[in-house]
Each structure stands twice: as structure tokens, then as C-alpha cells.
Amino acid sequence: MSSVLPREILITTIARLLEGVRHVAVGASSPMPAAGAMLRRALDEKERTVRLSILGSVEHNFFTNGSCELFDSAGQGRIDAFFLGGGQIDGQANVNLVGVGDYPQVKVRWPGSFGSAYLYFVVPKVILFREEHTPRVMVEKVDFVSAPGFSDPEVYRPGGPVALLTGKGLFSFDKTRPGFTLESTHEGESLASIQEATGFAFEHADSVPQTPAPDAATLKLLRSRVLDELEETYPAFAADWRRDLAALSVPA
Amino acid sequence: MSSVLPREILITTIARLLEGVRHVAVGASSPMPAAGAMLRRALDEKERTVRLSILGSVEHNFFTNGSCELFDSAGQGRIDAFFLGGGQIDGQANVNLVGVGDYPQVKVRWPGSFGSAYLYFVVPKVILFREEHTPRVMVEKVDFVSAPGFSDPEVYRPGGPVALLTGKGLFSFDKTRPGFTLESTHEGESLASIQEATGFAFEHADSVPQTPAPDAATLKLLRSRVLDELEETYPAFAADWRRDLAALSVPA
Amino acid sequence: MQSDLKGIVSRMRSGMRIAVPVDYAGVSMALTRPMIEAGLRDLDLVCVPTGGLQVDMLVGAGCVRSVETSAVSLGEAGGAPRFNAAVKEGSIKVIDATCPAVHAGLIAAQKGSPFLPLRGLIGTDVLANRPDWTVIDNPLSDQKDPVVLIPAIHPDVAIFHAPMADRHGNVWIGRRRELAPMAYAARETYVTVDRIVEGNLLADEMTGAGVLPALYVSAVAEAPKGAWPYGLWGEYNADVDELKRYAAAARTQEGFDAYMSETAKQGEPA
Amino acid sequence: MQSDLKGIVSRMRSGMRIAVPVDYAGVSMALTRPMIEAGLRDLDLVCVPTGGLQVDMLVGAGCVRSVETSAVSLGEAGGAPRFNAAVKEGSIKVIDATCPAVHAGLIAAQKGSPFLPLRGLIGTDVLANRPDWTVIDNPLSDQKDPVVLIPAIHPDVAIFHAPMADRHGNVWIGRRRELAPMAYAARETYVTVDRIVEGNLLADEMTGAGVLPALYVSAVAEAPKGAWPYGLWGEYNADVDELKRYAAAARTQEGFDAYMSETAKQGEPA
């Protein structure tokens, strides 16, 4: 088990969450979601075509109508999955990409909401992905709602969050409550360590399983084809990964 | 005077109506409006650039965003003048491009309203141009309003009709009445002959002047440069014109 | 992705709403006869924004239930004889529009929006006959300001003809950008092309600029000169003589039927 | 039509609303310093749909009154230091948007429409802080269906950088189509290009497909590598080291001032 890198478990988990999708879009600086989508594509290639759009990439760009096309195609229902991070994420899956403190003169200003206030509503599978899992990120209530985790029934909302994946564990989201359920803890974490790191309450089984590592075949695919593909768009991330593999003394 | 062709008087009149415009759009099969715009462009070339967009033409196409771009640019206020015909035109400048009789099962069906129901509202100078001047075209009331000649004050309407040019005469349009005023009669026509051919009432001075013919310099420009330019897009019309010039025994 | 004319038509069903382009933008005339031969019925055509020969033939062959359009004509060859006859007889429903309203409906669908507002139209009989169009008072204005809302148009199928596609299904539409909203708005898009090219049209910025990506294309079939007797921008001109021959023949239903069976024997154009 | 950087900046005025593109679409960095040197003040920037170095520099130089944007950052080089500081100090007004809302506002202007409806947004603090955005109940629905109306955005000026233009003022924007609505919506559009080419870009269907026509272009200036340190699609990559150098320097106003006067001496990039 210690022969698998933490990021490989994250990427494999992302690929599992993407089961059944046809078209995934990821942000420009999102190597792990991209890797997860590439793994999904490699696993599914005999059954279906999985498209991967990486914003700002030339190689992984299916768009020819400018930066509005991502939003248009999401509105058309042509994007099945998307990833959102967040400076703050709260227990109702609200996401804050704007800042900490009283808006507009926030104490800490982040870039802004980007397309979240739209995509979170229309993309069926939105995966919240943030490696940093601390009480300052996983808060009880966000200071600014860039995009809300759930909406009243009269609001047009074919999309929304399905999961929250962090450096410590994987949660599913139940929009009927609404709230998160801890599904698994990553190696080295426990229910207690996650509760301590999380500013919001969440549900969990009495005994929470560990996040599964990839099987040997998947791991091989990941370290060969996916890593090679990833290198084209994210050379620095791929180099890092290769270095860590070398340190593991595992043949890459 | 008889050394000037009727169409040359029409084209010159169109050019006069286009004084001051920067961008004229004409339909695909509108050689005379196109010729009028080309004459305007030639006359003004030292003072300003007059753009001419001919729908469906490659040579005179400034557009790269498909067939919606004409309407978009008109909505942006970038088209100063446009021409409309009409199977029926009435005394309030209503235009019918759909058919005669009870809609929808009309007795005579014409192609349809095209973009008139929009462009008539937003293009500042719409020139109604129809050579056939008979009671069946110039009616008291159109059977179907493809586009209305005037609108209530609360309706957004920066554009509308400024003139009606026919094979018999030139009318101006007064939107405050609303109604037409006969400004001039073409050679061979009179107030009486026009009244007889017109199904709607119109205002007129006691003595209606004759539509002026082009001066010698303008006529020269028309028969050289404009005719040459027109030939690229409307070869059949240009050939006709040259034949008639030859028949006039006027050196073309 | 790659298919043929029969393969494409086998994916169409009677009762579908089908979007077709204006005569100069690339009409897939190559699909017209296979659609007729497949016995499609009750089609609801949406002309983007006007129709011509393809519409007239489909109407003449009895395939059509309704036509939403800003106009139908054969251009230089005159009025559309079978369409005009059907309107007079009341055998098809004509839903008169105006060009920018058709574009607005497709762009609303492109944007996943329920409607687009459109200026103009107030006081026309076009509006008066469109119960699906709604006039509201502009909520952003502090004065009375009526504006028309055009609902999104969601065709089941869009069909058109283009100069080329690659084997991935990327289609080069050049500056005929109205073809893109048709495809964005439609559930399925079928394209015929003069030629299939090697390589990837998206790989190069110059060709990529004019591409409708495969993401929106359900199937492509090669059909050389597939717009004939219409022309194709940058490729070949319309065959006006043929359009006139059709126009003369189709003045009667018998003449139309004779034209269709005669030209069926001729096969593809030279 | 053809001009130079100073000629273009001389046509801008303090208090204007200026639209600028996203960092990867062609930012006219070449115009940034001339705008600062011209002493422009109280600019209202509209980022289409996000901003970066150009916005941060204009803010740092005191040219800006407000920024309407979906985000401002230096991408890989981190947060936008002068923008973030100005937001915290309250010395500029930030008007937070979301990407498709900026596009919707420009496309409304493109279409001459007063607004465009946009899904999403309901329940966000983005919406709560936009008194200019209005929620209505969709008039075309028979159920309760709230939808947001985004008013048209009419910039006084749009500026961007592109690979090439011809002497007629036609600008090749390739597949960066968001540049077109910026120009359609703006009263004036100023473009810098890496090179001016002979001939007419509209004369050929292949190049024409990627052209913003001269009709929408007020002036063009040649500025080789004019997007630097940003990259230009299909031409050159971003100079991330330079962006990082800026990001480090501009953490303080003094550092920003020093960077600007130092790089002013350097002149144009290699």
C-alpha cells in the first residue's frame, strides 16, 4: 500500500467518480482532475468515447467559439462533469471563491467566482476537489456564496455537487438533507483526524472504510499512459510525479 | 433628358436619398439599390468611407458571423440604410411580404417577411423601393403587416421608413401624421397618373416637380465606374443596362 | 462518426423537428431524396432563417407537417411552387417568423436559456400569429418598454452541407457561423460534405477557426457536390438553370412528381 | 485605420468603460504602459470574463475606478497583488460577476437587446451584490421559474491583441471568438497586432473564417510581441518567469512602482 503515492489514490478516486461520463471539463491548472479524466478515458475506451476539455489547453480543446463555449455547452447539457475548488467550502456544499471577511472589502481576496455561479447549477456531476483539508477551508458557513450547494425546488438546477474529495478523505453529498457523508478516509487518516480538520458537521458510518488504492492494472495504466498524456499539458506536475515515483523505488 | 434611362434616374434618386450614410445594406437581388449605394460611395469617396454590404455576395461581404450578423449589426446601430420592397405597401407605410387574402390560407403566397419585422424598426433610413406602381401594390391597407410603418411612442424604434421610390415617383414619409407626401414625379408621369395608380391617399404640393435627372458628371460616373462595379455582382442587370445604353445611341 | 446518406436517414424519424439552413449557407440537398425515399412524414421544418428547394421538395413529397420560416423561395428561380400550393390548400401549417427571431430562438437554445428578447416585431401580424412569442414590459426599464421574448428552439435534428470534414467528425463551416448555433441547439446534427480530409482540422489555428467541433456532430457522410443544385460558398455556384427547370416543373403536383422520378434516374449530378 | 500606440491612447478618455480580454485570448499588454503614461483616470474596466496583469498594472498605476469581472489573478504566478490590495483598501470598486454573465451582457449588446436571461445565479452572493441584475419569473413558464436578466454591457472601448491584421483593418482573431462580441458591443475597438499583412484577409474563405471585420475596428497598431509577458495562441507562450517577477515585485506599491520604472527603461521585450 505504501508503494502507491497519495496523488495516485486521489486520481484513481476521481476516475471512479467519473464513471459513466461522456464529457469532462477541467480548469486550466487542474492536473489531478485532468489525470483522473484521462484515466477514466483509458479505462473506458473500448466502451465509449470520453471527451476531456482542458480550459486554455490547445491539445485538449474541442472549442472554437471562444471562452463562452464552455458555458454554452454546459447549458446545452453537453458537459457531464466538472471540478470546483474553493477558498472555503461549507457543510451545505456552498463554495466561496471570492474572499474572507465582509464583502466587498474582504480581508483576504481570492481571484473571484469564475464560472462557478453558473456551472454549479447546470453540470450534473460537480466534484468538489480541494487538497487542503483544514478548518479554515472546510468551514461551517462560507463568508461569500460564489455558488450554493443546493437550491429551492423551483430553481432550474439540473446540476450540482455529488462529492467532495480532499487530501484526507472522500465525502458524498446528499442534497435532500442537504449535507455531506464521509465515505472513506485516505491512508493515514481516521474519522477523528478528519473531524478535527473539518469545520462543519457531516454524517458517517460507525466504521469508515479506507479509500481504496488502484489495483495493479490501473496503477500500471496510470504510471504509463496517463502520466505520459498528462505530461503534454502539465509538465511540471508530471516531473514531480516521476521524481516521487523514483523516490519510492518503484519502476515508473 | 430623353438621353437618360429611367433606371438611371432611379439610381440617382437612391444615391440622393443615401446622402450622409456610412453603411448601406442591400438584399441579394437588388441591383438598383446596390447601384445607388455604389454611386453614393463614388460621390463621397473624398469625404468619407461608405460601406456597402450586399447579402449573399462574396465581394461585398464584410460579415464573418453568419446570416445573423446583418441583424446584429443593425441592432448595434451600424447599418444606416436598408431597402425594403413589398408585395403590398399601404398609405401608412405598412409592408406586406406574406400574401394576399386571409392569413394563413392566403390566395397568393409570397416568400415571407424575411428580416423586415426587425430591420424596419432599427435601421434609421429605410427606403421603400418597388418599381411596380399599381393599385394592387400601393393599397389602402395591407392584408398582412410584415412590418408596420410607424409605432406607438413607447415602442423602441430608432428606425423606420423615410421614402417610397417607385417606377412613377418619389414620396417622403411623415411619421407624425403618419402618411406619404409625393415629392416628385418621374418623366412621363403626373400627379394625376400617380393618383390613379395609387390605392392610398397622399399629400402633395399644388405643383409637383419632376424627379431630377443626374447631371453630366454624375451620369458619367454612373455609366463608367458604377456600371463596372455593378457588373461583378449583377452581370445580367449590367448587360441589360449596357444594351439599353447602346439603343439610346449614347456612348457608354 | 462517419456514415453514409442512408445511414444518416435511418436515424431520422417521422414527426421530428428538423433545422435546415438558408440556400447560400450549405443546404444538404444530398439528403433530400433519401429522406423522401425513407417515407418520413409529419416533419416540422425550421428554416434558418429561410428555406428554398429542399423545403419545397420535402413539402411536395408529402413529408412535412409544418414549416417555421422567415421566407421560402427559390430566389432567382421565383416562388417555391409546392410550398406555396400547400399553404394555399392548408395542407401544411406555416409558422411565419422573421430572420433574427429564428436566430434568437437557436441562440437561446445554444445558451441553455429559456428565451431571448428581440426588438422590433411589435405591431406586426407576424407577432400576432405567434402565440408562442410573448410580449413583456422590459423589467430593466423604468418606462413602458414592450419587448418580445422568443422561446428557445430545440430541433431534434440539424442537417447541412459543408466543404469538408475530418475523420474525427470536425466540420469546416468557415464564416457560415449560423450553422454552429443550429448544431449547438439540435440534439443530433448530420452533415454531408464534399470531401473527407486527412488529419485533424482542429490541430491548426487557421483551419480550426472555421470548425464546428465533432462534439456537436452526430454523423458525417461524404456527398460530393452535395449542395447541388444549390452552390457552396468558395466551392461552386448555384445551378440556376436547374433551379428554374425545377420551378417550372413543380408548378403542378404532377410536374413535381415527374421531375422527381426523372431526376431519380439521372442519379448524382456531374 | 492604421495607427500607433500613442495614436490609439490619444483617443481614450478618463472615465471610459473599457473591455479587456482574458489572459489567454490576446491581451494588448502593449497598450498598458501608454495608457498609464497618458494619465488616464477613473477607468471602469470590464474583464471578458476575467482579468490579469493588465488589470493589475492599471489598478497599481491608479488609473482604475471599478473592475467588473469574474476573477482577477496572475494564473500560475498567483494572485493579482495590486488588485487585491485595492479591493482590501476599498480604493477601487469591484463588481463581481460570473463568466457567462459577462458574455451574456456583451451578447445582449451585440444583438441590440436590452438584456439576456441567464440560468444559475439564484441564491449566490454574486447576484445579491448586483443591483443591476434583475430576477423575474420566466414569463414563458406556467410554473414558478425564477431567472436572472443580465443587462447589455456597452463598453466605450474594447482593446485586445491579435496575431495579424490587414491594411483595411480586418483583424484575424481565429477561434478566440469572444473578441468579436467585445468589438460588436463596444463603441470603439482598438487592436494591436504582431504584424500587418498585405492583401485582404476577407478575400479568402479560409482566413476570412477567423476575421473580425474592419467594420468593427476603429484603429489597428502594429506591436510585435504585444501580448508579452502573456502569450498569444498559436504564436508564443506566456513568459511565466516575468509574470512571477512582477508578482513578487508588486506585493507592495513601492515594489510595483520600482518594477514599472525599471521595465520602462528596458523598453520592448526581446
For residue B62, the chain D residues in CB contact (below 8 A) are 202, 213-215
A47 CB contacts (<8 Å, ≥6 apart)? none
What are the structural domains of chain A? Answer: 6-84+114-130+157-247 (3.40.1080.10)
- What cell numbers appear for B229 in the block? 462595379
- Chain C residue with the nearest C-alpha to that of A50: C215
And the C-alpha cell for D252? 507592495
Angle, helices D81-89 vs D253-266, to 10°: value is 140
CA contacts within 13 A on the Cβ side of B87:
21
SS3 of residue B37 by DSSP: helix
Predicted ipTM of the assembly: 0.96
Q: What is the pLDDT of residue D270?
A: 42
Percent of chain D with pLDDT over 90: 94
Which element (helix H / strand E) includes D20?
strand D17-21
Contacts of residue C185 in chain A, CB cutoff 8 Å? 76
**Pick from C166, C203, C164, C169: which is nearest to C183 by CA?**
C169
pLDDT for residue D269 is more than 80: no
**Mean pLDDT, each 10-residue run in order, chain C (270 residues):** 94 98 96 98 98 98 98 94 97 98 98 98 98 98 97 98 97 96 98 97 94 97 97 91 97 98 66
What are residue D212's DSSP bridge partners?
Answer: D171
Q: Where are the alpha helices (DSSP H) in D90-124?
A: 99-110
Residues of chain B under the 50 pLDDT cut: 1, 252
pLDDT tens figures, A173-227: 999 999 999 999 999 999 999 999 999 999 999 999 999 999 999 999 999 999 9
Chain B: list its partners (3+ Cβ pairs within 8 Å): C, D
- What's the distance, CA C124 to chain centroid? 25
Residue A38 · residue A9 · CB < 8 Å: no
Is residue D64 within 8 A of residue D51, CB to CB? The reply is no
Show the cell assigned to C116: 431571448
Q: Residue A220 phi/psi, 5° resolution?
A: -65, -45
User: Taking the mean position of all CA atoms in its chain, how far away is CA C108?
Assistant: 17
Helix (H) or strand (E) holding A185: strand A179-185
Pairing of strands A161-166, C134-137: unpaired
- Kindly indicate the confidence band of residue A30, based on its pLDDT and cuts at 50, 70 and 90: confident
Q: Is C24 on the interface with D (CB under 8 A)?
A: no
Q: Identify the three-state secondary structure at position A196.
A: helix
Beta-carbon contacts of residue B88 (< 8 Å; ≥ 6 apart)? B95, B96, B100, B136, B137, B139, B142, B143
Enumerate the domain spans of chain C. 2-97+154-259, 115-151
pLDDT, tens digit (0-9, with 9 covering 90-100), for A96-127: 999 999 999 999 999 999 999 999 999 999 99
Given an 8 Å threshold on Cβ–Cβ distance, is D110 in contact with B76? yes
Please provide the distance, in angstroms rounded to a whole number, between the alpha carbons at the two ends of chain C.
27
CB D99 within 8 A of CB A116: no
The three cell numbers of residue B125 are 433610413
- Could you give the count of Cα atoms lying within 13 Å of A236 in the half-sphere of its Cβ? 4
Report whether pLDDT(D264) > 80: no
- Concatenate the DSSP letters of all residues of A58-92 into one string: STT----SGGGHHHHHHHTT---EEEE--SEEETT
Quick check: bond before B161 cis, omega within 30?
Answer: no
pLDDT at C264 (0 to 100): 75
Residue B24 in contact with residue B53, Cβ under 8 Å?
A: yes
Question: Do the Cβ atoms of A71 and A115 come closer than 8 Å?
Answer: yes
Cell numbers at residue C12, please? 431520422
Nearest residue, CB atoms, D149 vs list C140, C172, C175? C140
Cis-peptide, bond into residue B104, ω within 30° of zero: yes
- Test C206 with D208 for CB contact under 8 angstroms: no
Q: How many CB pairs (< 8 A) connect B and C?
A: 149
Contact: chain B with chain A (3+ CB pairs below 8 Å): no
Question: Are A175 and A150 contacting, i.e. CB atoms less than 8 angstroms apart?
Answer: yes
Nearest-angstrom CA–CA distance, C103 and B236: 32
Which residues are paired to D233 by β-bridges? Answer: none
Look at residues C178, C184, C182, C220 and name the one whose alpha carbon lies nearest to residue C201: C220
Bridge-based pairing of strands D146-151 and D115-118 is: antiparallel
Contact partners, residue C142, CB within 8 Å, separation at least 6: none
CATH of D2-97+154-259, one of 3.20.20.150, 3.40.50.300, 1.10.10.10, 3.40.1080.10: 3.40.1080.10
Which has the closest alpha carbon to A191: A207, A214, A176? A207
Question: Residue B67: which of C69, C75, C178 has the nearest Cβ?
Answer: C178
Q: What's the whole-model pTM score?
A: 0.96
DSSP bridge partners of C171? C165, C212
Give start and end residues of each alpha helix (H) in chain C.
5-9, 32-37, 53-60, 81-89, 99-110, 125-128, 179-185, 205-208, 240-249, 253-266
How many angstroms separate the first and last alpha carbons of chain A? 16
